[in-house]
């Protein structure tokens, strides 16, 4: 692994564990056993380092989500597979990282927001259309409204004011909000499939 990649890897590990604001360039240099000056030979400042990490994270997530989507048997399973991926990612991430991005790194936060309103919104709309075509989602729903609602739901999961980390477990919030979204979309046929995936025995 080249030094630039080592710096990115170590910064990613520290940011995920402690949040972005708490970690300085000195901390990263100390963990790597190099000087801060050496880091600045590869990155202009902390803002650039964070921006590149977010860019790479989003690209990786797009590839992984595309893979999971390709393996889904139906629209409902696709939602469960994507959420499983997000849960795996969040289980290794301090929720403060999203607050720090929003408050201290506006360019990186804009990158994250653009990803949501382009790639993620498009994925949600395709999923809704797929579910309607299969008969699992209600045909009368307004797809654009529901897609925007889903984006806001995901945003809210990361909101430390609404769901403070000391009181809520992010993975549980993700599960509850997603199931609420899915049950609202579904026809009776869709409800039965959700229950099957959740291993709920219907009376």
**pLDDT reported for residue 203:** 54
Bridge partners (DSSP) of residue 158 are none
Q: Tell me, yes or no, whether 11 and 61 share the same domain.
A: no
What's the CATH number where 33 sits?
A: 1.10.10.60
Q: Tell me, yes or no, whether 129 and 180 share the same domain.
A: yes
Q: Is residue 109 part of a domain?
A: yes
Take residue 202 and report the two structure tokens written for it. Answer: 């219907």
The Cα-based distances of 101 to 33, 46, 53, 112, 161 in angstroms read: 26, 12, 12, 9, 15
Q: Tell me, yes or no, whether 6 and 25 share the same domain.
A: yes
Q: Tell me, yes or no, whether 93 and 188 share the same domain.
A: yes
**pLDDT reported for residue 44:** 95
Q: Is residue 202 part of a domain?
A: no
The Cα-based distances of 83 to 24, 63, 79 in angstroms read: 32, 15, 6
Indicate the pTM of the whole model.
0.85
Q: Is residue 203 part of a domain?
A: no
Q: Tell me, yes or no, whether 66 and 127 share the same domain.
A: yes
Q: Is residue 133 part of a domain?
A: yes
Q: How many C-beta atoms lie closer than 10 Å to residue 130's C-beta?
A: 17
pLDDT in tens, the chain (203 residues): 799 999 999 999 999 999 999 999 999 999 999 999 999 999 999 999 999 999 998 998 888 888 888 899 999 999 999 888 888 877 788 878 888 998 999 999 999 888 888 899 999 999 999 999 999 999 999 999 999 999 999 888 878 788 887 898 888 898 899 999 999 999 999 999 999 988 776 55
Q: Tell me, yes or no, whether 127 and 73 share the same domain.
A: yes
Q: Tell me, yes or no, whether 61 and 155 share the same domain.
A: yes
Q: Tell me, yes or no, whether 27 and 82 share the same domain.
A: no
**Residue numbers of the domain that contains 143:** 46-197
**pLDDT reported for residue 145:** 96
**pLDDT reported for residue 170:** 82
Q: Tell me, yes or no, whether 30 and 104 share the same domain.
A: no
Q: Tell me, yes or no, whether 56 and 30 share the same domain.
A: no
Q: Tell me, yes or no, whether 170 and 141 share the same domain.
A: yes
**pLDDT reported for residue 132:** 98
């Amino acid at each position: 692994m080249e030094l630039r990649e080592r710096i990115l890897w170590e910064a990613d590990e520290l940011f995920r564990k402690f949040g972005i604001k708490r970690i300085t360039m000195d901390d990263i240099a100390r963990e790597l056993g190099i000087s801060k000056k050496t880091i600045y030979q590869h990155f202009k400042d902390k803002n650039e380092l964070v921006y590149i990490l977010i860019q790479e994270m989003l690209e990786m997530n797009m590839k992984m989500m595309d893979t999971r989507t390709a393996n889904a048997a139906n629209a409902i399973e696709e939602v469960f597979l994507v959420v499983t991926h997000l849960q795996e990612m969040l289980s290794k991430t301090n929720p403060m990282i999203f607050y720090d991005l929003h408050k201290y790194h506006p360019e990186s936060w804009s990158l994250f927001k653009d990803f949501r309103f382009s790639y993620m919104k498009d994925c949600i709309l395709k999923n809704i259309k797929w579910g309607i075509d299969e008969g699992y989602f209600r045909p009368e729903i307004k797809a654009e409204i529901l897609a925007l609602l889903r984006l806001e739901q995901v945003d809210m999961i990361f909101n430390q004011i609404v769901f403070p980390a000391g009181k809520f477990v992010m993975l549980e919030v993700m599960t509850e909000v997603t199931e609420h979204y899915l049950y609202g979309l579904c026809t009776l046929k869709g409800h039965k499939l959700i229950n099957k995936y959740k291993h709920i025995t219907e009376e």
